[in-house]
Chain A
Amino acid sequence: ETGVTQTPRHLVMGMTNKKSLKCEQHLGHNAMYWYKQSAKKPLELMFVYSLEERVENNSVPSRFSPECPNSSHLFLHLHTLQPEDSALYLCASSQGRGRVTDTQYFGPGTRLTVL
């Protein structure tokens, strides 16, 4: 049983649609992360939130907009996406103490297809 849940698990959207991905963690962690996983490429870190403040934004296009209303919830708002944005989007959480031992725990991911 995972302590990190993501909804929806699958999403198909057109380039003009607006949708949101949701992530919830039940582990009492303070940090949450969004990753993009495309075929044949390493995981790409998109955003990091620590104690509900965004601490990292790895040059992600503005068509991706994160929101972290509290330490348990993380959203990724999507608008006017491109077909190359089709990927698996993974959410993760960690205790967020910044130590090398800070293990990230992942959700099951949302498989996004942009038509």
Chain B
Amino acid sequence: AQKITQTQPGMFVQEKEAVTLDCTYDTSDPSYGLFWYKQPSSGEMIFLIYQGSYDQQNATEGRYSLNFQKARKSANLVISASQLGDSAMYFCAMRETNTGNQFYFGTGTSLTVIP
């Protein structure tokens, strides 16, 4: 079974609007971390935001927030006030306590911001 599932291969959003990128995960480990990365066309994976499984509040970093619904095993990324520079691939990833160094990545969502 896939550890990380991103069901939206491509998304479009109007500039200045908010957009939600979906991510669901599969784990039986009670302690895990969830990450979102942005990959522009240049190739570099840029770390955006982190959510721990025991965190009581949803993580926020500037215009990025994570809608963490533990019971549903979802960790959706919300980007507010979209900018043209937000156009990129977005990857959800998970790290479990039991699997140490292994990072599990989804297949990514391509976001295009329309002027």
Chain A residues near B (Cβ < 8 Å): 2, 31, 33, 40-43, 45, 48, 50, 55-56, 88, 90, 92, 98-109, 111
A108 touches B105 (CB 8 A): no
A41 touches B107 (CB 8 A): yes
Interface residue? B43 (CB, 8 A): yes
Residues of B within 8 A of A103 (CB): 35, 47, 50
Known contacts A101-B33, A106-B37; decide if A48 and B101 are in contact (CB<8 Å): yes
Q: Pick the interface stretch among B70-78, B79-87, B89-97.
A: B89-97
Contact residues, B4-24 vs A (CB, 8 A)? 4
Interchain pairs with CB closer than 8 A, number: 63
Q: How far is the CA of A99 from the CA of B35 in the complex (A)?
A: 13
A57 to chain B, nearest CB (A): 11
Q: How far is the CA of A99 from the CA of B101 in the complex (A)?
A: 9
Q: How far is the CA of A27 from the CA of B100 in the complex (A)?
A: 20
Q: How far is the CA of A108 from the CA of B46 in the complex (A)?
A: 9
B52 touches A88 (CB 8 A): no
A-B pairs with beta carbons under 8 Å apart, 25 shown: A42-B4, A42-B105, A42-B107, A42-B108, A43-B91, A43-B103, A43-B105, A50-B101, A56-B101, A56-B102, A98-B101, A99-B97, A100-B53, A100-B96, A100-B97, A101-B50, A104-B47, A104-B103, A106-B37, A106-B44, A106-B45, A106-B46, A106-B47, A107-B44, A108-B43
Q: How far is the CA of A33 from the CA of B45 in the complex (A)?
A: 13
A102 touches B95 (CB 8 A): yes
